[in-house]
Structure 1
């Protein structure tokens, strides 16, 4: 059976929609429908019931999910093993959210180059849900994500936990709503931010990337939320100040991998991630201005353990 048929089936199953699956696979809806029809003809069973709400698995479709997953996993493992370049004994693939690559995952690549020269590396950037799906299906060995949802078949290992704090360029340490910069630290942060600051629901400036937001803030002035480690050098030299009594939100990044992947190669990868995360968790230099985290569990604290 063509592996692309199994992949397409899993995409439709995961999204519950032929339209969504087509978007994620960068195909037309007609192409997705044709693949599913071909698969159904090969199996001699109908796999989906299509309705206004999307696509629902039939009983046969539900039985086929695990088989399709296994097919894709075995193929990916075989492909990666056969395709190893000369001089490399093992291979590993790692994916991460875009803004996690600097500096955390870039430092991990350098660490792997120095400590594990016998391992071939494949590094990718993708959306959080797509990364989780790919770890589940076996086309990716490990993913590094902010606050990933729990899945029974995946292990989430905490790498870094820090705080998001509100800082300002104002000499008096006050937050001026007219100069507030909303930084997109993910849906949990957005929900808690809305609850804590309903008056800032329509900020004058919204930026989705932490480094860009900090560069903007330091250039034109204002207030916003950033990692305490990122803000620390600027708090120390007086360019930023903590906003008094502003709530703080926890920050966390995790390594996610499948239970079947527990082995010596994944352990070496995890060791490298933990090694660079330990350094990453420390306050950064002024030119190292962080990345986009998501708060863990939506926790927030009032005035706890201020630093700087």
Structure 2
């Protein structure tokens, strides 16, 4: 069976629709439909029920899901095993949000290299949909993110809890979004909390999906925004920004996600070391 068909099948499950799967895979919707139709013909059954809300797995589709995951994982595992750099005995691929690399995962990297010098490490930066897709397809061994989804074969554990605070280059700013406010997309949980706290907020002139981008914009041109306290505490202490008194704080949990059953050497060491680094910092 063509693994591309199985990968497309898993992408439809992850996104919930043929349209979003096509966007994720950078192909047309008709291509996704053709692949699923070909897969159904090979298996002799219907895998999805399509409706206005998206797609729903049939009983046969739910049964095939574990086999599709195994197929894709096996192929990806083979590719990684064959592609291990010379002089190393194994490889681990880890992905995380940009902000979670800062301090947390960047502190983990040298410690992991010291503990397992024979293991090659590939580091990636992505957002939650790409991270989850990589874990499902076994292209990633570990993902660190804010809003994961439970999927068969993956373990999801709470890791840290970010405290997002409102900071500004103007110490006299009001405790609410105002002129110069940069909205940072910290994910759906932040959006819900932000909307509840500021019901009259209709949008910012500038928004960013990466905190680093918004922070440097504010530091260079002035303004305000919500950022993890650990990212801006030193900047506040230097007097370059002020935490706005009276503004609500928002809690944003981060999670570590990894393959539940893996024969990869030192994967358990990598996960445990991330836990230790997180516990030392929080």
TM-score normalised over the length of structure 1:
0.78
Aligned equivalents of 2:101 and 2:131: distance in 1?
Answer: 14
Matches within 5 A, 1:120-131: 120-131=120-131
Which structure 1 residue ranges, 4+ long, deviate > 6 Å from structure 2?
none
Q: 1:29, 1:137 → 2: CA distance?
A: 21
Q: What does residue range 127-138 of structure 1 map to in structure 2 within 5 Å?
A: 127-138=127-138
Uncovered stretches (5+) of structure 1, i.e. residues with no partner = 283-308
Contact preservation (8 Å) 1:155, 1:258: yes
In structure 1, distance between residues paired with 2:231 and 2:125: 22
* SS class of match (2:84): coil
Residue deviations 1:58-90, cap 9 Å, x none? 333232222212222222223322332332212
Query: Where does the alignment leave 5 or more consecutive residues of structure 2 unmatched?
Result: none
Between Structure 1 and Structure 2, how many residues are aligned? Answer: 281
Q: Which residue of 1 aligns with 2:194?
A: 193
Q: Secondary structure at the match of 2:179?
A: helix
Aligned equivalents of 1:39 and 1:75: distance in 2? 18
Q: Secondary structure at the match of 2:261?
A: helix
Taking the aligned partners of 2:56 and 2:160, their CA distance within structure 1 comes to 38
Question: Counterpart of 1:48?
Answer: 48
Give me the whole-angstrom Cα distance separating, in 2, the residues matched to 1:32 and 1:38.
10
Distance (whole Å) between structure 2 residues aligned to residue 204 and residue 98 of structure 1: 23
User: Are the structure 2 counterparts of residues 223 and 268 from structure 1 closer, same or farther at C-alpha, using a change threshold of 3 Å?
Assistant: same
Distance (whole Å) between structure 1 residues aligned to residue 102 and residue 198 of structure 2: 29
Partner of 2:166: 166
Matched, 1:205 2:212: no
TM-score normalized with structure 2 length: 0.84
Which range moves more in the overlay, 110-119 or 84-93? 110-119
How big is the shift at 1:101?
3.4
| Higher Rg of the two aligned structures | 1
Matched residue of 1:46: which SS? coil
